[in-house]
Copies of this chain bind each other. A is one copy, B any other.
């Protein structure tokens, strides 16, 4: 089919998303007004709301692209983890962390996290939470892979362990984006201090 209408629709949505990525990174999520996005995307304010339910919805769409990439990178590590429990866990965690600021500023992360907590029932919030869950499952998958290789004690239940590790790395990441002065290196150091002793405890 690909009628004129469909083509224009897809084009408008693309333009709005592109405007959002550009503006959010340049001026920060907070400072950007819907009117600014509409102007840059060459549509009206009402049209923006035709494609995205709220301002937060636009941000989540941007964040989701980033997290999908990270999940793909993580899958490669789970498929063939480095030797050693601590090395494997930290490789996955650093993969998450190191890519985190590639497309998103700390301010954008803060806003996205705040949105997902404040409005968990909305499509936005659900979408963000679903991504979190997939990240958590990926950590569990890694532990399962390490158990299969005989590196992690077989009697331990991988699921709660994976959740524990993910919850910790996620909370440390929250602290990281809350503090504009904190470097990626400091972030790595902190998570290492907490993850390594655990890794040693669960190693066979």
**A interface residues (Cβ-Cβ under 8 A, vs B):** 110-111, 113-118, 120-121, 125, 129, 156-157, 160-161, 163-164, 167-168, 170-172, 174, 177-180, 193-194, 197-198, 201-202
- What are 19 A-B contacts defined by CB distance under 8 Å? A110-B117, A113-B118, A114-B114, A114-B115, A117-B177, A120-B178, A121-B180, A125-B178, A129-B178, A156-B197, A157-B197, A160-B194, A164-B168, A167-B167, A167-B170, A167-B194, A170-B171, A198-B198, A201-B202
Which B residues touch A163, using CB under 8 A? Answer: 168, 194
Q: A195 — nearest CB in chain B belongs to which residue?
A: B164
Which B residues touch A202, using CB under 8 A? Answer: 201
Which B residues touch A168, using CB under 8 A? Answer: 163-164, 167-168, 171
